[in-house]
Amino acid sequence: MYNCQLHSSWVISSDAVWKEKNEDGTFTTHLEGKVLEYNPYDKLRFSIFHKSNQHNLKESELSFTLENQSAGILLKIEQGEFPNNSGGNKLYEECLAGLNFVKDNLIITINEVTSIK
C-alpha cells in the first residue's frame, strides 16, 4: 500500500503491519492487521484494523488470490465489508484509491514478466 512494506511472520493470527520507511531509516506504521490465511502462491487474507475516528467501520478483510489463467496469472484483490453509510462510503473510496495507486504498476510488471517467457 502506497510506499509501505508489509511486515509479518506469515503465521495464522500473527501481526501484519504496513510500515513506511522514512529517510532517516526509521519506520512509520500506517496500518495494522492479522494474518487470517496464508497459502503461498495461492491466497493471502488479512483482517485490517481501521484506527480512524472518521469511519464507523473498525475492521475489514483484505485478500489477495492468484488464479491460473490460459494467458498467465490473475491477481484478484478483494476488500470489504463497507457499510452503506457515510463513513463506510468514505472508507471504501480511500481503499479504492489505494488499490488504484498500484494498479498500473501491477499491469506493467505482469506484462514484463509475461514477455520474458
Could you tell me the residue range of the domain that residue 37 belongs to?
Answer: 4-116
What is d(CA 100, CA 35) in angstroms, rounded to the nearest whole number?
23
Q: Which residues neighbour 49 within 8 Å (Cβ) at sequence distance 6 or greater?
A: 31, 32, 33, 58, 59
Instruction: Say how many domains are in the chain.
Output: 1
pLDDT tens, the chain, 117 aa long: 667 888 999 999 999 998 999 999 999 988 889 999 999 989 999 988 866 655 555 677 888 899 988 877 888 888 877 666 556 777 777 777 777 777 776 665 545 444 433
Number of Cβ within a 10 Å radius of residue 23: 5
Indicate which CATH number applies to the domain containing 112.
3.30.530.20
Q: pLDDT at position 116, please?
A: 38
Q: Can you list the alpha helix ranges (DSSP code H) found in 1-117?
A: 86-116
Identify the residue whose cell numbers are 494474518: 35
Q: pLDDT at position 54, please?
A: 56
Spatial contact of 19 and 2, defined as CB atoms under 8 Å apart: no
